[in-house]
Structure 1
Amino acid sequence: MREGLSYETAVDVAGYSAESTEEIPSPMQPLVQRALPQQLYTRVYFDLETTGFGLADITQIAAVHDTEEFSIHVEPKAPINVSATKVTGITYDGTTMFKNGKPVSCYPLEHALSQFQIFLHKFNNPILFAHNCEKFDSVILCRAMQSVPNLKLEESFCGFCDTLHLLKTIVPHQQSYSQEALVDKILNEKYAAHDALEDSRYLQKLVNSLENDVDPHYLSCTFNVQYVFHVLGQKTQSQENLMSLQPLVRGKCISENMAKKIANSGLCLHHLRLAFDRGGHDGIKNLFSEKSNGKARVTNRSKIISSVSQYIEGYHRIPSS
């Protein structure tokens, strides 16, 4: 049910609409993280503080390499989440930024990224090392980079290394893999965590203390900027899909979790309508149960398939104004 009519003559003669020929996208596939090639790199340890969790705005960028250090606070466009303030101590009233109640200078994002770029230009083939950066720091930084494309910051470094994956490999069986816990366990030190500069300093210190084990393994935990841009593209598409499915959630046709599952498979409400137009209940069933990596694209559960089919059928019965 994914393909509509595709032969041009039939379309021309019968006068089918564009929807008749539109192809429903195939299942969204997990992206493959590919390691950077073997060559001589410079390790730059970095960290971000943000307005919250998820796709948040940056409030601080910091980085270190050996004794070279960089730190800058950034004016966020979004308000800072109360939970984030409890962790970082950063607040912003729209004109002044405070760190633990003391005012600090802050700058527009474009200026902050350009200064970061100048810092990175000091080094040959820099890789940005950060803890849990595949899921967080790399995504936040690349999203910020997309908002100032003329800067071309992605040309100033080779990629990222996620030290969370790295340290799970070389120091297995730890109770916690938070950076703070690892510094305490391995270095027997405590520090002011959740300040980007201090986090960067101690990440460098932590990795350097394990140097003999790091060298053979770190490249396997690297990935390039284009991988992150693709991740962001999928996140954006999934969010747009999810927004379109909210009427089904509000109508108690499906749960929010099921809506996310549908959205993450690459489907929006429009695609469900196309499938129903072409095959009714069976169209939805075939679409949801289509195999993807050995599993149903969405679900095989007849109750959910029937519920969605009934919703789409009812949608078609609503008279146009």
Structure 2
Amino acid sequence: MNTQESIDLSITPIPPPVWKPESVSLDTFENLTFFDLEATGLERDSHITQIAATRGSEEMSCYIMPKKKINNKASQVTGITTKEGRMFHFGKPVPSLSINEAINKFMQFCTITAGKVVLVGHNSKVYDCPILLNAIKNCSSTAHFETCVSGFLDTRKLFQLTYPGRKSYSQESLVQSLCNQQYQAHDALQDASSLKQLFESCNFDDVSLKESSFSLTSALDALAYSNTVATNFPSLEKLVLEKVLSECMARKIAGSGLNLKHLHIAYLRNGTDGICSLFTEGERRVRVTKSKKIIESVCSYLKKSCPEQ
């Protein structure tokens, strides 16, 4: 580390603590709107290739031209491909919209006169919700979305609570065993429609519904936290590879708003005490950890990689 870098590190501010947000459940389950999406892959920053929703006797569906390449596995599963600016579904050309047009169409469907809707999806907390909210954020439509959607209901968790002990909680398996039907899975409209039918064929208690839901605000908070981890974690990966930290602890550090440069700053300023103060700051809960073993492991690494000025 040269002198200029050391000087810059010593004056750079360390961001305030960030904590992993707690999920907040919904209290009411009116205006249920069943939705599903297909995307270019499984990653949270994947681009949507199809989105569909149904409520009552109404439904909407559209294909979306992605700006990312659809990976081969996703194409095999969904049948969606692109070529020379056109979209195809199992080889047949289909009309497509831009992501901005599609998000506007989806939000128009979610906008009703009798309050806000609850979006119901299968495994939506892990997959559909983060991808959808990323797309809405990129379209600068979050504020509009908040006016028409109160939160989400994840039916995978709902069925896990209601029917414990099943070998599979995939939507296909549930539809086949509980409704004695099959359908064209991995088509967004077919998925949303079959989920609606599946949901309406079962009885769920209020406790399970509540435990399977999460508010839009908490979903947005969770997405922001996930993005913070994604931004900071790459700088800490070397510490995981060198077994200075576990991956779980490195992600916790990243989620708290810190990257490797911030650790260098704290160590340059006050050595081991600097890292200890940084990791343990906070009133009701600590920023990272009070573990002396972890603090000493990080300091040992920093002592070698961050010599005194």
Interval containing the TM-score (normalised by the shorter chain): 0.7 to 0.9
SS of alignment partner, residue 182 of structure 2:
coil
| Distance (Å, rounded) in 1 between the aligned partners of 2:240 and 2:213 | 38
1:124-203 residue pairs with structure 2 within 5 A? 124=114, 125-150=116-141, 152-203=144-195
Shift of 1:248: 4.3
1:62 match: 52
Question: CA separation in 1, counterparts of 2:230 and 2:85?
Answer: 31
SS in 2 for 1:223: strand
The alignment-based identity, stated in percent, is 35
Determine the structure 2 residue equivalent to 1:97. 87
Q: 1:44 maps to what in 2?
A: 33
The verdict on how the C-alpha distance between 1:41 and 1:19 changes in structure 2, with shifts beyond 3 A counting, is farther
Q: Measured at CA, do residues 285 and 150 of structure 1 come closer, stay the same or move farther in structure 2, by a change above 3 Å?
A: closer
Partner of 1:3: none
User: Structure 2 CA distance, aligned partners of 1:266 and 1:150?
Assistant: 25
Q: Report the alpha carbon displacement of residue 235 of structure 1 after superposing the two structures with TM.
A: 1.1
Structure 1 residues 251 and 285 mapped into 2: Cα distance closer, same or farther (>3 Å)?
same
- Residues 182/73 of structure 1: CA separation in 2 closer, same or farther (3 Å cut): same
Residues 172-218 of structure 1, C-alpha deviation per residue, up to 9 Å, x if partnerless?
A: 222211111111221122221111111101110111001x3356642
Match of 1:209 in 2: 201
What's the offset of the Cα at 1:137?
1.3
Compared with structure 1, are the counterparts of its residues 137 and 274 closer, same or farther at alpha carbon in structure 2 (3 Å cutoff)?
same
1:291 positional shift: 9.2
Match of residue 24 from structure 2: 34
Q: Unpaired segments of 5 or more residues in structure 2?
A: 1-6
Q: Which residue of 2 aligns with 1:260?
A: 251
Distance in 2 separating the partners of 1:266 and 1:23: 9
Quote the offset at 1:223 in angstroms: 2.3
Tell which has more relative contact order, 1 or 2 (C-alpha 8 A, sep 6+).
2
Distance 1:182 1:31 in 2: 31
TM-score, normalised relative to structure 2:
0.83
How much has 1:286 moved relative to structure 2?
5.8
TM-score (norm 1): 0.80
Aligned partner of 1:238 among 213, 226, 229: 229
1:220 Cα shift? 4.0
Find the structure with the greater CA-based Rg.
1
Do 1:42 and 1:123's aligned partners in 2 also have CA atoms closer than 8 Å?
no
SS, match of residue 29 in structure 1? coil
Secondary structure of 1:198's partner? helix
